[in-house]
Amino acid sequence: MTADRLTILHVYPRQMGVSGDRGNVAALVRRAEAADIATDVVEYAPGDALPTTADVVVIGNGPLSAMRSLGADVTRVGAPLREFAADGVPVVAVGGGFDLATNAVVSSDGADVTGFGVFDARAVRGAERRVNYFVLETRYPLLGSASTRIAGFEDHATRIELGDGVTPFADVVSGGGNQAGSPVEGAIAGTSFGTHTQGPILPLNPQLTDGVLAAATARLGREYAPDAQRTATIDRYAREARATIDRYVDKAFKRIA
């Protein structure tokens, strides 16, 4: 963060951005504005020079074919992204981006993909396909007394195998989640989290956006305090959207054969 501007690094927006993932970046920008924090959004494409500094990193959803197309670039930038996370920079990885941020994406055809290694986990393809509304109780640190209940949508056929001692992102209220035995979803590493929750997740769950921005600004010695009046309208939209998911979550289809 320089000159009071928060740098948001959006990794592979073209290849890993098939589920409205720019909405997560937009939510961070709008929410920061409501706390009088200016932002710069930097997009990283394969082959570019990865910025040496960032305050939040966003990795969106994408198919296995996109991950394979990135080739050696994933290995090249994996170490710097791990360093960002280790230094307390929140990495928000969603859908296929979460898979890619684990140690490896294990494919049923044997052509595995080495991941960024931000999360000590493996993404094993070929699990039961889960396509449904998603309701969770997150374990990610939030501001004050903010509700831990979050909602969204999941669409994946991946089993997430967490390493020893890795904290899940959330406990599953309704949905498939990691599909590895326990009813949990995603992973947390410090101030970073990975999840298959789409929607996109941050606009649907402003309290989570606040948690990410609070972590990013605390690292820089700055307080994060959004103005409730300036966020009232988008908070209401998000609240109504989550209420609709809660209303229909048990009536929607749960899986695709």
Q: How many of the other CB atoms lie within 10 Å of CB of 137? A: 13
How far does Cα 134 stand from its chain's mean position? 14
Instruction: Give how far Cα 206 sits from Cα of 24, 81, 155, 171, 242, Å.
Output: 10, 25, 21, 19, 11
**Counting Cβ atoms within 10 Å, is residue 29 exposed (0-12), middle (13-18) or buried (19+)?**
middle
In sign, the C-alpha dihedral spanning 216, 210, 144, 120 is negative
Q: How many of the other CB atoms lie within 10 Å of CB of 198? A: 23
5 is in an annotated binding site: no
Q: How many of the other CB atoms lie within 10 Å of CB of 163? A: 13
Decide if 17 contacts 60 (C-beta within 8 A): yes
d(CA 58, CA 74): 15
How far does Cα 75 stand from its chain's mean position? 20
Point out the annotated binding site. Answer: 129
Point out the annotated binding site for substrate. Answer: 129
